[in-house]
A and B are shown apart, each in its own frame.
Chain A
Amino acid sequence: METTPLLDMQAITKIYDNGVVANDNASFSLRKGEIHAIAGENGAGKTTLMKVLYGLEKVDEGRVMLHGNEVNITSPHKAIEHGIGMVHQHFMLVDSLSVAENVMLGAEVTKRGFIDKSHGIQKTEAIAKTYGLYINPLAKTQTLSVGLKQRLEIIKVLARDVSIVILDEPTAVLTPQETVELFNQLKRLRNEGHSIVIITHKLKEIKTICDRVTVMRHGKTIGTYDVATITEAEISKRMIGAEVRVERVERSIQGGKPILEITNLTRHHPGEPSLHDVNLSIRPGEIIGVAGVEGNGQRTLIDILTGYASSYEGRVLINGVDIRGRSIKAVRELAVSHIPEDRMIKGSNPFGTIGENLVSTTINKPAFNRAKGWLINGRKIRQYTQRLLKSYRIKADNTDVPVRVLSGGNIQKVVCARELDSQPSLLIADQPSRGIDVGSMEFIHRQIETLASNGSAVLLVSADLREIFRLADTIYVIYNGAFVGAFNNDGSVREDTLGEYMLGIKRQAFAKEVARRDAGNAAL
């Protein structure tokens, strides 16, 4: 045991300009040659703490000690000088450049005034060899898979000769196989003497590769523990203050006419992923999960179903009504709700109050109007908002605070409250629990389940397999715009099996599978 840690962050307090206290007297220390997880719900302040370390955020109080000396890191440039590098959750790569050019970006070596390209290639290859991070240095970045892009990000950081590597939710976009590969690489990096910080809220990952874990909650650090001596349940308990059980609840699917019927749906549009011959039907009470790596046509499918995309071949019936040519509003009028993938862009108006956000799709209802529809009934809306705040357990000071000051989980609950409270007959849920804390996630999952139990059809699109396993009755895997696999979610399918289909390694003789399923339906 060393007496002085490699890195010691003491009593860090960071308040954002909008008044959000991201870090409140948080402390964190890192030993040389360990993989250290920072765990916590979303909005717990994990990323902010690391951004402070990497010089992206200015700290308001507290100090950072490196090798026992106080350092003042004011920019990423300084951080790199001190040997600290960060891989962000969203890739910071120039797609049109080659791998080697991205590696050297901002630190180009010149020869006679021109960029020395061979140096970049050599450097990339050297790092690849040392750490087993194999990649083609001449490949164009846009042609890389998500996993390789992340590998490139890590190489980019290593090329700056850093000894501390911070990774922000590195597995969020990876398939199970890619995750395993990443973990092997990280272990190798550790063995070479690097210290690694992983920001995550996935307990399994912490148990798999981390040596120690620091748990954060509401901007404070709750404690640091040896992973070997703490159980997942105990970590989770410290993260959210209560134990969460994640189990699929058995529901019986009601028979009857399908609510959603998609036949031979095809769309080719330049600049977006295509959709090839998709067939799907959802009966009342059924939850269909669509699993897939992002960018394989899920967005296109949802755009068609919600009235965003109007040109397509094939047919979509919702409760027997053809939605061709219907506007977004007209599709909503068929009792369709839509939880969009991005809560801050499509899902909410961050500057509007909670009340204004909750009634955005229902403000034309007579219940919220007065004076023959000329005026909005502010008091009714406020009462409605108060009811939803309570029943969806949204934490907010009052109904008139702007949505942007809420935490991610609470904003997502506002979105869900609006979409679910109308008791839709069809719910299209696109990544409904992405990037939110475990408590909110479980709450939203239960709401979706209840909705299905009451006879609604649910189309769940998610890149998070746990979510799919948790909710779906049937799992479809989408790859390259087509369904390549269908599975009953009865516990017989494993994550890595799905992963193989998601990556296009395997493909079912799908027509047969669908025929069998439909025959089964007919028999019901």
Chain B
Amino acid sequence: MQAMQRFKSMYARVITAIKRTLNLGFVFELARTLAAIVIALSVAAIIILIVSDDPGFTLRVFLLNPLTQPDGFATIFSRAMPLIFTGLAASVVLRAKQFNLFAEGAFFIGGFAGAIVAIHVGLPGLLLPVVALLAGGLVAAIFGTVPAALKAKLDVNEFVVSLMMNFILLWIGVYFLSNVFNDERAGDITTPLFPEHARIPYISQDSFFTSGVFIAIAAVILVFIFFRFTRFGYNIKTTGDNLAFAKYSGINPAGPIFSSQVIGAFIAGVGGATEVLSHYRRFNWTSLPMYGFDGFMIAIIAKNNPLAVLFVALFFGYIRTGAVQMEIFTRMSSEIVTIIQAVIILLVAAQAFLMSLRKRLMMRRIKGLKHVEATVEV
């Protein structure tokens, strides 16, 4: 009986919370994004229809194979995993209105640091991957303090500094990889193999579904909580929304400006380490992996909402999986994915897209109210 009562009150609370979120504005933004995705996929379909010898088969492979292949879902999640991390990193940074592109370099150096710890620090059992991931995040965060502190203290443009940092870290990384941590016997620029227990395991023997995905989802939840329920998150949001108001309210903006960038670097760094320890047996990156820049795209489409980042990253994982399938089974090139991304970004970023529809909906609502008000009017 009491349990029933408790359930009822909880249910009511959840419903009001949902109602609060699902106002017209939110629903409309969601519909707008979905419409952009549908249009982008249609553009891709039209191109396939024009170019392909067998458009029906090509489309089926592109859109359905990721869902029907035995390891399709595992592949989608695996491809989405790094994008979730970098998307989150970018969303934290963009929330504070900081245009810091360091997620790219942070992802790289985080992966490298995680690999080095996995190989050279002898820790037992589960402790090793955990420490390796944290080390990846920490090293990235430490380097992340450079653009962050320069911006917060000296007002140096973080865009320029972070962009340069990416390449500085890449070449520092490549130097250490080829001269210090190189595996002489491998005959290539690469580290030795990771110890087996350092790797992030697949959820079962016969699936490629890596449990790193759960770490990514945990990160989504943590970032969500960070912005919804913590004062740090509140300060970052407020500073990003209105700097003058933040100052006026007694927030020292240097704090959020600095911490948002460092937190972003940390998330991207953990992401890099998770990616390396999930999908690689040894570290051999000699170029930037580009996940960082993709992360910005994802954060923009997701409007910096961490939950939306998860779904947008999964969608990207899906179309990229489809594109690879298409390349394997048909003569279409997988580059079609970039067209889809470009169209989505264009439509989501275009403020006026579908605004007239929203206006018409609103007109109708107002008209509906009109006769009620008429009776009130004196």
Q: Which residues of B contact A375 (CB under 8 A)?
A: 229-230
Report B20 CB to chain A, min CB distance, Å.
5
Q: Which residues of B contact A356 (CB under 8 A)?
A: 234, 237-238
Which A329-353 residues sit within 8 Å CB-CB of chain B? 329, 332, 338, 340, 345-352
Bound CA–CA A235/B303 (angstroms): 46
Report B246 CB to chain A, min CB distance, Å.
8
Check if A60 is an interface residue, CB within 8 A of chain B: yes
B77-98 vs A, Cβ < 8 Å mask (1 yes, 0 no)? 0000000000000000000000
Q: Which residue of A lies closest to B359 (CB)?
A: A15
Q: How large is the interface on B (under 10, 10 to 19, 20 to 34, 35 or more residues)?
A: 20 to 34
Q: Which residues of B contact A327 (CB under 8 A)?
A: 250, 252
Check if B204 is an interface residue, CB within 8 A of chain A: no
Candidates A60, A345, A401; contact of B244 at CB < 8 Å: A345
Among listed A73-81, A291-299, A357-365, interface-contacting one:
A357-365
Q: Which residue of B lies closest to A333 (CB)?
A: B250
Bound CA–CA A364/B249 (angstroms): 11
Bound CA–CA A136/B278 (angstroms): 77
Q: B21, B247, B252: which has the most chain A beta carbons within 10 Å? A: B247
**Is there an interface contact between A360 and B231, defined as CB atoms closer than 8 Å?**
no
Q: Which residues of A contact B21 (CB under 8 A)?
A: 400
Which B254-288 residues sit within 8 Å CB-CB of chain A? none
Bound CA–CA A363/B25 (angstroms): 27
Bound CA–CA A17/B25 (angstroms): 11
Q: Given A329-B252, A375-B229, decide whether A345 and B366 contact each other with a Cβ distance below 8 A.
A: no
**Is there an interface contact between A369 and B231, defined as CB atoms closer than 8 Å?**
yes
Candidates B20, B245, B362; contact of A347 at CB < 8 Å: B245
**Is there an interface contact between A345 and B234, defined as CB atoms closer than 8 Å?**
no
**Is there an interface contact between A349 and B238, defined as CB atoms closer than 8 Å?**
yes
Bound CA–CA A369/B25 (angstroms): 29
Q: Which residues of B contact A349 (CB under 8 A)?
A: 238, 241-242, 245-246
**Is there an interface contact between B355 and A352, defined as CB atoms closer than 8 Å?**
no
Q: Given A361-B250, A375-B230, A376-B230, decide whether A13 and B242 contact each other with a Cβ distance below 8 A.
A: no
Q: Which residues of A contact B2 (CB under 8 A)?
A: none
Bound CA–CA A351/B240 (angstroms): 10
Candidates B229, B241, B250, B351; contact of A352 at CB < 8 Å: B241
Bound CA–CA A13/B20 (angstroms): 28
Report A314 CB to chain B, min CB distance, Å.
24
Q: Which residue of B lies closest to A238 (CB)?
A: B378
Q: Which residues of B contact A378 (CB under 8 A)?
A: 228-229
Which B201-253 residues sit within 8 Å CB-CB of chain A? 228-231, 234, 237-238, 241-242, 244-252
**Is there an interface contact between B250 and A328, defined as CB atoms closer than 8 Å?**
yes
Q: Which residue of B lies closest to A379 (CB)?
A: B13
Check if A398 is an interface residue, CB within 8 A of chain B: yes
Check if A21 is an interface residue, CB within 8 A of chain B: yes
Bound CA–CA A360/B246 (angstroms): 8
Q: Which residues of A contact B23 (CB under 8 A)?
A: 397, 400-401
Check if B51 is an interface residue, CB within 8 A of chain A: no
Check if A114 is an interface residue, CB within 8 A of chain B: no
Q: Which residues of A contact B248 (CB under 8 A)?
A: 328, 338, 340, 346-347
Q: Given A348-B242, A401-B23, decide whether A329 and B250 contact each other with a Cβ distance below 8 A.
A: yes
A393-431 vs B, Cβ < 8 Å mask (1 yes, 0 no)? 000011011000000000000000000000000000000
Q: Which residues of A contact B249 (CB under 8 A)?
A: 360-361
B347-378 vs A, Cβ < 8 Å mask (1 yes, 0 no)? 00001000100110011001000000000000
A363-395 vs B, Cβ < 8 Å mask (1 yes, 0 no)? 110000100011110100000000000000000
Report A157 CB to chain B, min CB distance, Å.
31
Report B9 CB to chain A, min CB distance, Å.
13
Check if A24 is an interface residue, CB within 8 A of chain B: yes
Bound CA–CA A254/B234 (angstroms): 40
Q: Which residue of A lies closest to B250 (CB)?
A: A329
Report A208 CB to chain B, min CB distance, Å.
28
Q: Which residues of A contact B20 (CB under 8 A)?
A: 398, 400
Report B374 CB to chain A, min CB distance, Å.
11
**Is there an interface contact between B244 and A352, defined as CB atoms closer than 8 Å?**
no
Q: Given A19-B25, A348-B242, A401-B23, decide whether A376 and B229 contact each other with a Cβ distance below 8 A.
A: yes
Q: Given A349-B245, A375-B230, decide whether A360 and B238 contact each other with a Cβ distance below 8 A.
A: yes
Q: Which residues of B contact A19 (CB under 8 A)?
A: 24-25, 358, 362
Q: Given A328-B250, A378-B229, decide whether A345 and B242 contact each other with a Cβ distance below 8 A.
A: yes
Bound CA–CA A375/B224 (angstroms): 13
Q: Which residues of A contact B (CB under 8 A)?
A: 13, 15, 17, 19, 21, 24, 60-61, 327-329, 332, 338, 340, 345-352, 356, 360-361, 363-364, 369, 373-376, 378, 397-398, 400-401
Beyond A19-B24, A360-B251, 19 extra complex contacts between A and B, CB < 8 Å? A15-B359, A17-B351, A17-B359, A24-B366, A61-B363, A327-B252, A328-B247, A347-B245, A349-B242, A351-B241, A352-B242, A356-B234, A374-B230, A375-B229, A375-B230, A376-B229, A378-B229, A398-B20, A400-B23
In the assembled complex, 18 residue pairs joining A and B whose CB atoms fall closer than 8 Å, in A order, are A15-B359, A15-B363, A60-B359, A60-B363, A329-B251, A332-B250, A338-B248, A345-B242, A346-B245, A347-B245, A349-B245, A352-B237, A352-B242, A360-B238, A360-B245, A361-B250, A369-B231, A374-B230
